Every structure is written in structure tokens, then in C-alpha cells.
Amino acid sequence: QKEVEQNSGPLSVPEGAIASLNCTYSDRGSQSFFWYRQYSGKSPELIMFIYSNGDKEDGRFTAQLNKASQYVSLLIRDSQPSDSATYLCAVNWGFGNEKLTFGTGTRLTIIP
Amino acid sequence: DVKVTQSSRYLVKRTGEKVFLECVQDMDHENMFWYRQDPGLGLRLIYFSYDVKMKEKGDIPEGYSVSREKKERFSLILESASTNQTSMYLCASTGPSNTEAFFGQGTRLTVV
């Protein structure tokens, strides 16, 4: 069974610091990778997606993908209390294969 | 504004009952998914559908079935509800490029 692994946390980061969230996946053939944010009691919402090796930046968020190491990460710069949430990593196993598999999520708390 | 709507926010059912969870999306998306979310286990895929009348088993299909008679509607059926099916159920849909999954608000099902 294809797996997506995340450290469940909780991860505590001071306000203004960089939060680093990590995810590994089991299938080398995986094609697309997603980070979702889920506030308590709410549904997940997409933050970023990445397909190619390297970094992708969007505002305070940077996604990093290393397919050789089967590793994807999310960096949050200048962390804010509003960033406190559970972050879910998701992997699509291939173009044309529409099955999206999620990790268990990392709970992030930003300390004011 | 894109919308995925689940028929109920909260449900309480008795053991052995047949339970229907309904999901409707208004984005003309091909792909629809049913997940359940439990503490410490993350989002687990129950079933997904990539076209009308087409369905694929996810990682935990036992005790569930699905129906997709129209493109916009994807139903999850619990044939005979059991207490271990008490959970949060999330419906999602994605378009052909699969770049973003849009989630419904979730149905918290309690089986007593």
C-alpha cells in the first residue's frame, strides 16, 4: 500500500520564526504533491501544490520537493498565530491516476 | 464560488441502520471522493469515482458502498451501520488536472 508519512507533532514555533513541516512518501512514481491546511472543526483547504523538483514559493509559504529522496516539505516564514492548524500532506500517485492519498497531518502551534 | 455540499452536518444513527450520506458539487468535476477522518489516523480514502457510474475502492472500503448516477452527486452508503463507523466523513471533488481538491463541510456521524 502506498504510504504518506508525517510527524504528527505537535510542533510549536514562536511567532515570527520559520515553521518547517516534513512529509515522505513511498512510491517513486508519484507525480504531484499537495499541502492542505485544516483548522479545528473545519475542512481541509489547499495551500500549495508542487510537481517538479526544487522550491516553489507563494507569499510566506515555500514548498520543497526532492523526488530522489521521496521527500516534500513546507516552510512557513514569519509564522503568525493564524497559522496554527493541522497541515496535511497529500500525494497523487500519477497523472491519470486520480487517487489522492493523505498523510496523518502535523499539528502546528504558533506561540505569540 | 466553488461549492461541495454535504447533506448533513451531524447525524446520529442506530446500529444496523442503513445510512446515506450525500454530496453534491457544482464545479462539473469528474472526480469525487469519500474520506473518513479519525484522530491520529488522518484522512483515509473509502471510495472514489472518476466518472458517472464508475467507482474505485479506496483504502478502507469494507462496510461501505457508493453510488454515482449523476456527475454532480456522489453518495456514500453504510449498508448496516456499526459503532466503529462513528467518524467525520468528508467528500471532495477535483477537476481533470487534479490540482486542487475541494472539500465539503463534513458530516459527523455517530452510530449508537
Q: Which residue has the higher pLDDT, A61 or A8?
A: A61
How far is the alpha carbon of A16 from chain B, nearest alpha carbon, in Å? Answer: 28
| Per-residue confidence band for B100, with pLDDT thresholds at 50, 70 and 90 | confident
Instruction: State the DSSP code for A3.
Output: -
DSSP string of chain B?
Answer: ---EEES-SEEEE-TT--EEEEEEESS--SEEEEEEEETTTEEEEEEEEEETTEEEE-S--TTEEEEEEETTEEEEEESS--GGG-EEEEEEEE-TT----EE---EEEEE-
Beta bridge partners of A5: A24
pLDDT at B77 over 70: yes
Residue A22, all three cell numbers: 516534513
Other beta carbons within 10 angstroms of residue B69's beta carbon come to 9
Cβ neighbours of A103 in B, within 8 Å: 42
pLDDT at position A100 is 81
B17-69 pLDDT, tens digit each = 999 999 999 989 888 999 999 988 889 999 999 889 889 998 899 999 999 99
Residue B36, all three cell numbers: 473518513
The radius of gyration of chain B from alpha carbons, rounded to an integer in Å, stands at 13
A31-78 pLDDT, tens digit each = 889 999 999 989 999 999 998 999 999 999 999 999 999 999 999 999
Do the Cβ atoms of B6 and B105 come closer than 8 Å? yes
The rounded percent of chain A whose pLDDT value lies above 70 is 95
How far is the alpha carbon of B15 from chain A, nearest alpha carbon, in Å? Answer: 25
Cβ neighbours of B10 in A, within 8 Å: none
pLDDT at position B101 is 84
The radius of gyration of chain A from alpha carbons, rounded to an integer in Å, stands at 13
